[in-house]
Each structure stands twice: as C-alpha cells, then as structure tokens.
Structure 1
Amino acid sequence: MLSRFFSSILPVALLVFAGGPALAQTAGAPVCVHDDTVKERFIPVEMLTGNLPMQTDQLVMAPVDRVYPFVDELPNGTLGGGDVTLKGPVAWESHQAYQRKVPRANELYALTPDKTALGRVHDDRVGTISNEGKFPVGQWAQGQKRSYSTIYYSTRGERRESTTLEIEKLSCVYEGTPGAMQYGWKTASGTSYGYIYVPGKGLTHVMTRVGGR
C-alpha cells in the first residue's frame, strides 16, 4: 500500500519542485516587438505628451497636464519605476516649452532649432542647455541617426558635447499597443539611455545603459 501511495505522489512532487524556481522568478522587462514593415514615419509631439495625435504632419505644442508611470530598467536588469509629470507649454526665453518632472530632475523641453527633436533647454541639475536632441520628432526613418552640437551652460562655465539620437524600432508593439517607438540617446562622453514611448501614454520605459546615475 505504501509503495503504491509514494509511487502515485512522486510525479506530483516532481512537478512541484520543477515548477518552484520558475514560480520564484520575477518577470523581465516588457519588450517592444518590432514592426519592421514601417520604414519611415512622422513622429508627432503627441508621442511625447501622450495626447491623442492630431491628423496632421505638423509639430504642435498642444496643452498638456498629466502624470503617468514608467518602467525604469537598470543595466543589471533590475526594474524600478517612477512617474513623469508633464505640463505646458510655458514661455521660457524664446521657447515654448513643456515643464517635465521625473524622480531625479526638473526640466524644460522645447523644439531644437532645426525642429527634428525636442530637448532640454533647462535642467535644475545642469543649468541652461542649447540644441540638445533628446526626443525625435518630425520625419524619421528606421535606423536613422542624428547628432546635435549641444552646449551646457552652468555656474562652472560652458561645456560643449555632441548628443545623438538613433531610431532602434521606429514602430513596435508595447504590451499590446501598436505604433510605439524605441530609440537610443547617447552623449559623446559615454552616457547612454534607451526610451520607449507609446501612443496615448507617452514615456513608458526607460533603459539606463551606461552612466547617467
């Protein structure tokens, strides 16, 4: 009787032990599944703000006042999170700018002079910034790179550095939502981030790759 009892529960026990480690694993970071059929695309400002896109290929700094969450992925795979607060636009010097607050920064974002990107024009940690491309807008192609000669002005003086945007996935599906976008941002000094933005949501995923903390 005992032998029959143990033989009957042994397969169940093996399944429990085999499943134990899998159940203990934490879910990895969400992946934006690339839609490689999209080769070129107009990226509106609404991709940044999370507003519904306008039916026009024009860059419009429309009003926004919202808070939305994002996943924060560190180089070792650890996942955290935070909130983005975005308001504006407001007048700042000669710019129409969005006020953007994330856990580590208070920033102002405006269009670059060539209108190919939005970037910081002020950051509480740095000071005034000129010609920084941080978020691609307008017409972009899959795999395209653009570099910007950026100037950072602080109490310690002026610092010049090249910043580069690269489209990694011009169109991708993020947690069931199509039309998202993933791109990389790098500085000449080595800082590197990846970002995923989703229509109707704005920033959803930050990937810290090198430096920045």
Structure 2
Amino acid sequence: MDELRILYCDEALVAVDKPAGLLSVPGRGPDKADCAIARLQQRVADALVVHRLDMGTSGILVFGRGPAAQRALSRAFEQRLSDKRYEAWVAGLPEADAGEVALPLRADWPRRPRQMVDAQLGRPALTRWQVLARDAAGGRSRLALMPVTGRSHQLRVHLAAIGHPILGDELYAPPADHAAAPRLLLHACRLALPHPVSGATIVVESPAPF
C-alpha cells in the first residue's frame, strides 16, 4: 500500500494524503490495527484524530497536535467552517452541469455500515456537485463534490440516490459500476479551514490520483 504522505505540518496540525484502502482509525480486531493515525503517530507523536475518511476514499486527512488543537479543529468541522472538495468518477452523464442533493441520511442498521436515505428519521445532509468532464464513450462523468454537511458515507449515498453511483463503490453501486474501477474513485482533493492557533485560513491540496 502507498505510504502516508505528509502534505502540511506545523506546531498545531498535520495534514496527510491517505491512500485508498487504509483505515483512518483502528477497526475492531488486530487485523485492523494498521491505520492512518497509527502510522502518523510513529512520526508525529502528538497527532490526534479530528475527522475521518472512508477506507476506500483517498486524500486529505487532518489531525490536531495535542488536545487543544484537536478541539479547535473539531469545532471548525462541527460549525461547518471547513471547506471540503472531493473529486469522483461516477456512472452516467448528468444532464445538468451542476446541482445539489438534499436527502436526509441515517444508518441502515440491519446492513451496517451502510447508510440510507430516510425522509422521516434521517439527519439533514446536503451535497453540491459540478461536472468537470463527461466521458460519453465510457458512459461516465468526473464530478467535483462539495459536501456542506459531513454525514457518514454522504457522498456515496447521495450520488447513488440520484442515479450516478461512484465507480468502484462496493456498497452502493450496482455490480457493473462496482467492477468498473479497481478502487472507489473518490478523492478528498482540497480542504480549507481556520488554523487552530492563528485563525488564518489554511488551504491543503492533493490532486486526484485517477
């Protein structure tokens, strides 16, 4: 698996480029101990978890250095002061050039870790999207995705719900679209957020590897 690459590091925070296939935090059992935070703490001992990316998603993951920075960064995410941008290849060719998906989400308990749209019990979730390229011959499109909320699996469920599942998605894409890519074609490519000490906006970028 690819190495965990440090994109930005100062006295308060660290941003890394997480490879696809690596957990953000440890899972249950010794076979799931290898993860981004464990690898990073070998190099930056005071790094603490702020947010997560799905195992199949690659890209920018931020950690606070010490509890105070961790709290400040966590607050920034909770208060939606962070500006996140992802890129993905999805099945199909959207008719519009941009749009948004506002569908409430909740855990699909019998089929965990799957999430589902639920108009009654779901929590509000909003995703904005924009077409970057259309591959008519391949029947697929490259999208920029800007989640306003941060629900679990939000981008994956929202894109599947509007008929454009992310290619390589083993949970939400039909078998043909799952098999169309060797990995989940979703990458966290840009993150802007206030620095936990100075308050100045920090921008971290990572080009999509696909």
TM-score normalized by structure 2?
A: 0.30
Q: Which has the higher helix share?
A: 2
TM-score normalized by structure 1?
A: 0.30
